[in-house]
Chain A
Amino acid sequence: MTSSVSITLERCGRTFANGHTALHPLDLSIAAGETLVLLGPSGCGKTTTLRIISGLESPDAGGRVRFGERDVTQRPIEKRDVGMVFQNYALFPNMSVADNIAYGLKIQRLPATEIRQRVDEVMAMVDLQGFGERRIDALSGGQKQRVALARAIAVRPKVLLFDEPLAALDAKLRDRLRIEIGQLLRELNITAVYVTHDQAEAMALGDRIAVMQAGRIAQLGTPQEIYHRPSSAFVADFIGAVNRLEVIGSRPQGRLVVHGGELHGPHLSGLPSIYCRPEDIQIVETNVAAIQGCVIQSVFLGQTQRLMVDTGSSTPLQVDAPSREHWRVGEVIGLTIPPEVLFHPEQCNSQRDVQEVAHG
């Protein structure tokens, strides 16, 4: 396939005519062949960023978009070689499946035999053999999105852009198509930007994830970094569930007093609160427990169950427990939290700064 290209955004911001700043000037570089996921709540500027990359939207004055070494800021979308996949499929209703897929190739004026061959090739890639003559309205949602994907990759674009492509599908289909898209992106080794508000999708597909908040990138990193070392309470909270424990006092040797007991966290001394994930908390006998609390609710999730444990703080502690065991509401249980799973976003930031200085 076409050799992939890197993408660089320099000071790309966007303020709309109504005065609303959807995107504060940001810098972002995406390596050739990388899949970058833009993740964030609705309205945080993901689509705007994607549209600036695609050429459907221009950045405010001063912003630059580069594909490789080439400055494409002034180029309209039709000259940028980007494939787009939309949430609502955006298939041409007056054309058959094959005609939809062939559309870009016909514009390129390829010979008919080559068009047919390429259409067959991509239809096989997205598992749509034999659907060529179908009308678009005779397809299911999942099939429509496969056609849209096939149409986008048929022209062998330099960059693939996805805007919440799975948001309109039901859970089962979403998982399946997500895996297929992941495989396809790896096979094609194409630079891709994938917009979603679904953290599971983001972690499964992204080589790196940019978590966005109110028109800014809150954190950019690998899924592991984002999950384990979130740089802000917002990121920690947006990606998976997180507990925030208020530190109400400190003892010598790095012991932190929290509601319900004491924790060992020498690396976190002096911070007003500490964070941990529900799955990192262990349930133990009360006599060896660091903290104790009372079970107030249990939510069965299938592979685990999530206990809400009242330790005397304002919000209950979320604790993941094995799915087959049973806890009664009102039961007092013991918990321990190993020091290495405790974190604080600010401290994650400073760690990263130290690393960056070391690398630089």
Chain B
Amino acid sequence: MTTVSQWRLRAGAASSSAKAAAGPAGTRRQQRLALLALAPALTMFCAFWLLPFARLVLMGAEIDRGSGISAYLAILTHRQYLISLAATLGVSLVVSITAVGIAGLAGFFLARHCFPGKAALVAILTFPLAFPGVVVGFLVIMLGGRQGILAQLSQWLFDERWIFAYSLTGLFVGYLYFSIPRVITTVMAACETLDRSLEEAARSLGADTWRVTRDVIVPGIAPALLSTGAICFATSMGAFGTAFTLGTRMSILPLNIYGEFTNYANFAMAAALSVVLGLITWLALSIARKLAGSSLGAPA
């Protein structure tokens, strides 16, 4: 739906720019050629994306088996779904902000300082990118599960078991674990492209470290921070492996979808939840893209 219109807009923009590039005589031919070139992509798009997605959207409007009303309506009116929606949104948002905060600082520090063992440190920090969600979930259990390191340590120190793996906290730790490397690499790359003379100019005008950071460095890497934050958010919204490993009883959207689908054969609700999840993720990504585009304008 929205995605489709967006796509149409883009196609329109593309053809109009092609028009501007070609002379008036070659315009029609060019357009026809462009259409021809687009045909395979269009076919793929329709067959593997548009048709199933349209089906999904329609299916979501059907009667929910639990409540007897349209599944979309059920999501909006039933506490259980709203809470799950809020929990998913909340944990994803907190994860993104924390990751951008911590890893942004770390990435900036790494980009600016040279010390022995830096390459190894960066390699270790970005290692979690290699793990699938299931393994990350497993690692969180090793850390905060019933037999986890924290549980044993707290047992030994305070005579009680601290367990966080099977809750939203565990999910938070897991998501953070695979968000941080992504932010670090993006921020490091963005720092490399910062123009040092801007910082020098600011300092010559009397700016201290804090003001240089606020007025030059943060605006300079803001597009990177926003886009990497949005990607962390989108990944966290849909991360299934980690959540599934940590416990199927947790109420978050990807697990809900799985549950409705496999356990209750409630296809309408599964479809509606999928559409909502996709929509939120898409919205986050496009807002971030817009913000990142306008905060810096055309590159100098």
Residues of A near any B CB (own CB < 8 A):
54, 56, 76-78, 80, 82-84, 86, 88, 90-94, 103-104, 107-108, 135-137, 148, 151-152, 155, 157, 161
Contact = CB atoms under 8 A, between A and B. Distances in A.
Interface stretch (B151-159, B181-189, B201-209): B201-209
Given A77-B200, A84-B204, A103-B205, A137 B215 contact: no
Nearest to A56: B200
Nearest to B295: A94
Contacts of B216: 92
A152 B204 contact: yes
B296 interface: yes
B198 interface: yes
B206 A78 contact: yes
Interface of B: 195, 197-198, 200-208, 211, 215-216, 219, 295-298, 300
Contacts of B198: 90-92
Contacts of A56: 200, 203
B222 to A, nearest CB: 8
24 contacts: A56-B203, A76-B203, A77-B203, A77-B204, A78-B206, A78-B207, A78-B208, A82-B204, A83-B205, A86-B200, A86-B201, A91-B201, A92-B198, A92-B201, A92-B202, A92-B215, A92-B219, A93-B297, A107-B205, A107-B211, A108-B206, A148-B201, A155-B205, A157-B204
Given A107-B211, A137-B298, A90 B205 contact: no
Contacts of A90: 195, 197-198, 200-201
Contacts of A157: 204
Given A84-B200, A84-B201, A90-B200, 11 more contacts: A56-B200, A82-B204, A88-B197, A90-B195, A90-B197, A92-B202, A94-B219, A103-B207, A135-B297, A137-B298, A155-B205
**Best-surrounded residue of A56, A76, A94, A155 (most CB of chain B within 10 A):** A94
A107 B205 CA distance: 8
Given A77-B203, A78-B203, A93 B208 contact: no
Majority SS at the chain A contact face: mixed
A103 B202 contact: yes
Majority SS at the chain B contact face: helix
A91 B219 CA distance: 13
A104 B205 contact: yes
Nearest to B298: A137
A136 B267 CA distance: 54
A168 B214 CA distance: 29
Contacts of B296: 93-94
Nearest to A148: B201
A93 B218 CA distance: 12
Contacts of A76: 203
Contacts of A135: 297
Contacts of A136: 300
A135 B294 CA distance: 12
Contacts of B295: 94
B206 A104 contact: yes
Contacts of A88: 195, 197
Contacts of A107: 205-207, 211
Contacts of B206: 78, 104, 107-108, 155
A148 B208 CA distance: 19
Nearest to B296: A93
Nearest to B218: A94
A92 B208 CA distance: 16
Contacts of A78: 203-208
Nearest to B197: A90
A151 B205 contact: yes
A93 B202 CA distance: 12
